[in-house]
Amino acid sequence: MMPERPIVRIAIDGQPLLELDAEEYVKGCLAAEMPASWHEEALKVQSDTIRSYGLAKMAERGFVYADTRDQVFDPPKRTARTDAIVEATRGIVGLYKGRIAATFYHAACGGHTLDDWADYLRIAECPCGKPQNGHGRGMCQYGAKALAEQGKTWREILDYYYKDIEWVGNYGEETMTKTSAHIQRIEPWMQQALVDLGSNWVKFVNPPAGPDPMPRIPNKIVRIHTDKIDDQFVPRGEQGGRDFVRHMLPQWRERPWATCYSLANEPDCNSNGGLANLCAYSLGATREADANGIKVVILDLPEGNPGDNETGDIGVSAWKLQQLAPAVREAVALGHYVGLHAYWRPGVEGPLGRWHALGRIEWDVEIWRQLGIDISKLKLLVTEWGVDGGIAPEKPGHAPKTGWLTLCDPTTYFREIAEGEQRARQLPWLKSLLLFDWGPESEWVSFGHDEGAVRNIVRAIDPLGPAEPPPTDGPTDDEIRNLSWNYVGVAYNPTHAFPTYARAHDLGAPLSGTFDHKGVRIQAFMGAIVKCVLAPVSDNTDWRNTTHIKW
């Protein structure tokens, strides 16, 4: 899935433009811009800023200068060490509002940096220890060296000098794959498979302390198993959230390469007390994490939750989401992440399904948007994604801890992953779909993805192009109508109509998908057959006229 490497055209005085592969260009600049003997994390920062700056200038004017008008390009200074650094960071660039950012940098800032050249530059108190040498904007090279020697990672250093920049792989291609991996046990083939998939994120469960296990994947979630101690923190609300972060900091600091860290997994989000505790706990955790300069993932709710208490009234779920909205609002404002789980059920609900899969995620986000949360700044991670038989225990063979290897035809499963990927590309707030599970523990073996399965996923996703984004110039009348009907609990949208009707009339689980026959849309449920007469123009169908007949 990795694209062809971009070409950089280099202007060297007195010579024709030199065309080079982007990574060869970065290799020719790295040791010329920063001493090859400096700390590895500082060199990674320099590699990423060279790549971003060079590609931004290519987009702006079609070439880069080979000297201090842009960046010094001097290939004879290349070393095996600096070449290895470039390979480890290959394809990583910084995006600001969807475009590669010209990541300015300089030798020494004299103690603080300036922010007046671009909105994504920070004013930073800098430990460079040198008099000013250069323009003082963006990354300070001596400051980056000092921060690296203090133990900061490349990602922390970049975030120290730049703001609102998303560091991504794949050269920032619009077709960046959102499908990625939830990994319980790291295996040697996995990093290259994720690179080939074009993934920008990966989630590790209980990864070993120490060096970054996958330096070529720019964004990483770390979850340390805390299931046995979460009850000591979540019920204590805000103070419990603060104490949880303080308790976990030593372990998180041993894995400083993470982009963000998980809080409690699948906490109670249905009882009134559980909702109040979870909201306060999440607020405390985000505030404490922010004070310590790290990012966390809040909520991590199980699929299909918060539920409707088996009432069939989606207003119950909407009310519960409202109780969690203060925590979501603050996480969004502070740049933290929101985690939700989403699964589908073979023969019952597909990857875009309304009740447990992406359709449910989209509904949750729409409720939060209606509550005034700035969705343009939301960073949502589907931290578990895939097939789970436990969602439909009434179906034969659909028991908890039963995954795709038991329940699915592989060809259909790979196609459904591609279907979810295509939809995810239309949702800018959705950052990743993390397939459960790679390298699974023994109890999750039927969810496992080996190298062969992942290669098939790559082949299924590879033909997908960039999806057209949803319109941004305000909702259409049809969208307003859909939202209004859904808000009052009547499904106008045909995707939602039959499941909503079946739940309201206690008709049980679906036995088929929808199909049309002689102008009637039909879907079979356990308790009855649901139908609606289609209008001559399908978009004009009045889904309030949905009804059912007995078997």
Tokens of 318: 């909407």
- Global pTM reads 0.78
Return mean pLDDT, the chain: 90
Please report the beta strands in 331-391, taking only residues with DSSP state E, as ranges in sequence order: 337-344, 380-387
pLDDT recorded at residue 484: 54
- pLDDT above 60 for 214: yes
Distance CA 318, CA 315 (A): 5
Tokens of 358: 């992406």
Average pLDDT for 89-105: 93
pLDDT recorded at residue 506: 77
pLDDT recorded at residue 371: 92
Average pLDDT for 190-211: 94
State the sign of the Cα–Cα–Cα–Cα dihedral 30, 36, 40, 42. negative
Residue 314 pLDDT level (bands cut at 50, 70, 90): confident
Residue 537 pLDDT level (bands cut at 50, 70, 90): low
pLDDT recorded at residue 121: 97
Greater confidence (464 vs 254) lies with: 254
Average pLDDT for 197-222: 94
pLDDT recorded at residue 474: 57
Say which CATH topology domain 175-461 has.
TIM Barrel (3.20.20)
Could you tell me which residues are beta bridge partners of residue 339?
A: 299, 381
Distance CA 115, CA 270 (A): 45
Please report the beta strands in 401-519, taking only residues with DSSP state E, as ranges in sequence order: 430-438, 515-517
Average pLDDT for 522-533: 84
Which has the closest alpha carbon to 413: 351, 359, 340, 341? 351
Distance CA 387, CA 341 (A): 11
Q: What is the dihedral of CA 211, 214, 220, 221, to 10 degrees?
A: -70
Average pLDDT for 306-331: 94
Task: Give the pairing of strands 99-100 and 93-96.
Answer: antiparallel
Burial 393-418 (b: 16+ CB within 10 A, else e): eebeebeeebbbbbbbeeeebbebbb
Percentage above 70 pLDDT, the chain = 90
pLDDT recorded at residue 469: 43
Residue 520 burial (CB count, 10 A)? 11
CB 436 within 8 A of CB 384: yes
- What is the domain partition of the chain in residue ranges? 7-167, 175-461, 491-549
CB 435 within 8 A of CB 449: yes
- pLDDT above 50 for 317: yes
Residue whose tokens read 């009740």: 355
- pLDDT above 80 for 514: no
State the sign of the Cα–Cα–Cα–Cα dihedral 59, 63, 68, 73. positive
Q: What does the radius of gyration of the chain's CA atoms come to, in whole angstroms?
A: 25
pLDDT in tens, 456-471: 999 999 887 654 444 4
Distance CA 253, CA 293 (A): 11
CA 64 distance to own-chain centroid = 32
CB 147 within 8 A of CB 160: yes
pLDDT recorded at residue 174: 53
Q: Is the peptide bond before 463 cis (omega within 30 degrees of 0)?
A: no
- pLDDT above 90 for 501: no
pLDDT in tens, 367-380: 999 999 999 899 99
- pLDDT above 90 for 477: no
CB 292 within 8 A of CB 338: no
CB 524 within 8 A of CB 330: no
pLDDT in tens, 329-360: 999 999 999 999 999 988 788 999 988 999 99
Residue 518 pLDDT level (bands cut at 50, 70, 90): confident
Distance CA 384, CA 396 (A): 24
Distance CA 503, CA 312 (A): 5
Greater confidence (263 vs 493) lies with: 263
Average pLDDT for 209-226: 94
Distance CA 4, CA 7 (A): 9
pLDDT recorded at residue 499: 77
Q: CA angle, 488 as apex, 487 and 494 as ends, to 5°?
A: 70
List all residues 6 or more positions away from 473 whose beta carbon is below 8 Å from its beta carbon. Answer: none
Sheet holding 64-65, edge to edge: 18-21, 7-11, 64-65
- pLDDT above 90 for 408: yes
Considering 1-10, 441-450, 520-529, the range whose residues carry the highest mean pLDDT is 441-450
Distance CA 403, CA 387 (A): 6
pLDDT recorded at residue 2: 44
Average pLDDT for 505-511: 75
pLDDT recorded at residue 502: 80
Distance CA 457, CA 3 (A): 17
Residue 240 burial (CB count, 10 A)? 22
Inter-axis angle of helices 40-61 and 141-149, to 10 degrees? Answer: 150
Residue 475 pLDDT level (bands cut at 50, 70, 90): low
Q: What is the dihedral of CA 491, 369, 354, 527, to 10 degrees?
A: -40
CB 229 within 8 A of CB 236: no
Burial 424-458 (b: 16+ CB within 10 A, else e): bbebebbbbbbbbbbbbeeeeebbbbeeebbebbb
- pLDDT above 60 for 139: yes
CB 426 within 8 A of CB 174: no
Distance CA 25, CA 9 (A): 9
- Give the chain's length: 551
pLDDT recorded at residue 507: 80
pLDDT recorded at residue 173: 72
What single letter denotes the amino acid at residue 306? P
pLDDT in tens, 414-464: 999 999 999 999 999 999 999 999 999 999 999 999 999 999 999 999 887
* DSSP category for residue 224: -
Distance CA 454, CA 386 (A): 13
pLDDT recorded at residue 472: 45
CB 107 within 8 A of CB 141: yes
Distance CA 454, CA 438 (A): 9
Which has the closest alpha carbon to 101: 31, 161, 37? 161
Distance CA 36, CA 27 (A): 11
pLDDT in tens, 228-247: 999 999 999 999 999 999 99
pLDDT recorded at residue 244: 98
* DSSP category for residue 302: P
Residue 4 pLDDT level (bands cut at 50, 70, 90): low
